[in-house]
């Protein structure tokens, strides 16, 4: 794996710590800013909304700019956003700083994913994405629990200052180790209108739905994991960083194993992982009042949720390979669309008085819907692949014009790009 891919994973560590650390800071933050837990949870959604909007907009705006320069600028803006969050005097100011940070984070993810995939052979796409997502997993192992620990002992603002420092370290790594690139100027130069044609592909939209549902299922529950542990399972607040770290350990295991599994069997990895997530969430809904069960299932949720992540990302690059930058942007938007919807739905469940176990049940239903969408995508994929075989004399399959292999044509061109 090229060193630059690991550097991108290191930068994602800072981004991921900021994105998810609020799950361990909701209670001290709510007390300090005099807001409710669901209102504090909306800060998670605010970040996600910025990611949903920012990914495609910034990907389109920077399409013809050098990718390394784009990554440097976006990471610098993100770091400044963390400083603004640390200094925020009110809930509204913090909300705005989260949106600005999210816009920069979204652009970095979209461009960084395209860079990571471009640096490896086609058969290593899922592993390259697993390395980037590994930064997110390490953030959940170390960054998020550390943020919760800082929040408990030095105030929630100290966590934002810590992420600002991490961003500066990541910036140095990108400046020194990511290769300098210039945008193509010939026939292969990026053209926005041409890249937008990927959205004619029905499989792109299915991949978007799967990504969003999978993220919503995970983060509907994860955003309220801290109060679930303390108020439902009865654990002391001091346990929260430990359990968040266990979730992160599970996420690291899941993304590491899921990358290789996804390169071998994409749909099997997606469907199997999401089915396992459904079971884990349902079990958590049934046993969350038992401290040992809540802790153990938090670990398993990290494994199952992140086991699917590399395959889900690689699937989008498979169906939208003609537009790699927008493919990365679309994946980022879809993930954060789920990350927006999930905490919002969870907040509605809590407000309705259904409790944190109710949040687990709703999360399980979202995961089951993701399994269903994956089954539909797999069937369409097999049906489309079969229809691409051109039968010649004697019934022998003959590759169609422009074929990428025996009896097939590239999916992006066959499904809607020009049809």
* pLDDT tens profile 160-176: 999 999 889 888 888 88
pLDDT higher at 326 or 363? 363
In angstroms, the CA 256 to CA 311 distance is 11
Task: Dump the DSSP string for 249-282.
Answer: HHHHHHHHHHHHHHHH-HHHHHHHHHHHHHHHHH
Q: What is the mean pLDDT of the chain?
A: 77
Q: How far apart are the first and last CA of the chain?
A: 37
In angstroms, the CA 242 to CA 246 distance is 6
Rg for the chain, CA atoms, rounded: 21
The domain locations on the chain are: 3-183+192-388
In angstroms, the CA 51 to CA 328 distance is 12
pLDDT band at 367 (very low <50, low <70, confident <90, very high): very high
Q: What is the pLDDT of residues 267-308, one digit of tens each?
A: 888 888 899 999 999 999 999 889 999 899 988 998 998 888
pLDDT higher at 172 or 55? 172
Asked if the 3-183+192-388 domain carries CATH number 3.40.190.150, the reply is no
User: Do the beta carbons of residue 326 and residue 113 sit within 8 Å?
Assistant: no
Residue 130 has pLDDT above 80, yes or no: no
Q: What percent of the chain has pLDDT over 90?
A: 9
Residue 110 has pLDDT above 90, yes or no: no
Give the residue from 156, 26, 152, 173 showing the smallest Cα distance to 82.
Answer: 156
pLDDT in the model for residue 321? 59
Residue 409 has pLDDT above 50, yes or no: no
141 vs 82, 144, 227, 253, CA distance in Å? 20, 7, 19, 11
Q: What percent of the chain has pLDDT over 70?
A: 81
Instruction: Quickly list H helices, 88-155.
Output: 91-118, 125-138, 144-154
In angstroms, the CA 1 to CA 124 distance is 9
Residues 6 or more apart whose Cβ sits within 8 Å of residue 101? 18, 47, 50, 78, 81, 82, 84, 85
Burial readout 144-161 (b: 16 or more C-beta within 10 A, e: otherwise): bbbbbbbbbeebbbebbb
In angstroms, the CA 200 to CA 325 distance is 16
* Crossing angle of helices 37-61 and 26-33, rounded to 10°: 100
Q: What is the DSSP letter of 199?
A: G
Q: What is the pLDDT of residues 36-48, one digit of tens each?
A: 877 787 787 778 7
């Amino acid at each position: 794996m090229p060193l630059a891919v690991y550097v991108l994973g290191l930068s994602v560590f800072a981004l991921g710590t900021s994105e998810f650390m609020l799950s361990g800071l909701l209670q001290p933050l709510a007390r300090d800013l005099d807001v409710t837990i669901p209102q504090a949870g909306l800060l998670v959604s605010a970040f996600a909304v910025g990611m949903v909007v920012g990914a495609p907009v910034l990907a389109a705006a920077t399409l013809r700019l050098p990718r390394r320069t784009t990554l440097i600028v976006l990471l610098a803006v993100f770091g400044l956003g963390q400083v603004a969050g640390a200094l925020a005097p009110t809930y509204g100011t913090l909300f705005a700083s989260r949106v600005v940070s999210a816009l920069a984070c979204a652009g970095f993810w979209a461009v960084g994913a395209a860079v990571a995939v471009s640096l490896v052979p086609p058969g290593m796409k899922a592993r390259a994405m697993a390395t980037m997502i590994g930064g997110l997993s390490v953030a959940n192992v170390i960054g998020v629990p550390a943020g919760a620990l800082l929040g408990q002992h030095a105030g929630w603002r100290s966590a934002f200052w810590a992420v600002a420092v991490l961003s500066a370290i990541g910036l140095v790594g990108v400046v020194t180790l990511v290769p300098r690139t210039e945008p193509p100027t010939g026939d292969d130069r990026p053209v926005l209108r041409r890249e937008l044609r990927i959205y004619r592909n029905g499989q792109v939209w299915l991949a978007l739905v799967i990504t969003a549902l999978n993220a919503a299922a995970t983060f509907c529950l994860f955003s309220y994991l801290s109060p679930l542990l303390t108020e439902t399972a009865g654990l002391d607040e001091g346990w929260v960083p430990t359990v968040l770290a266990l979730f992160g350990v599970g996420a690291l295991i899941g993304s590491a194993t899921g990358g290789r599994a996804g390169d071998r069997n994409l749909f099997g990895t997606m469907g199997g992982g999401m089915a396992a997530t459904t079971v884990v969430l349902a079990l958590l809904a049934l046993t969350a009042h038992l401290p040992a069960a809540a802790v153990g299932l938090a670990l398993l949720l990290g494994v199952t949720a992140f086991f699917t992540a590399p395959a889900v990302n690689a699937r989008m690059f498979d169906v939208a390979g003609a537009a790699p930058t927008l493919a990365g942007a679309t994946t980022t938007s879809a993930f954060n669309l789920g990350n927006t919807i999930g905490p919002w739905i969870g907040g509605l469940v809590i407000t309705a008085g259904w409790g944190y176990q109710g949040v687990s049940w709703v999360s399980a239903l979202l995961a089951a819907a993701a399994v269903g969408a994956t089954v539909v995508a797999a069937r369409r994929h097999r049906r489309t692949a079969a229809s691409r075989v051109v039968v010649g004399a004697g019934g022998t399959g003959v590759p169609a014009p422009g074929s990428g292999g025996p009896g097939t044509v590239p999916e992006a061109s066959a499904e809607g790009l020009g049809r």
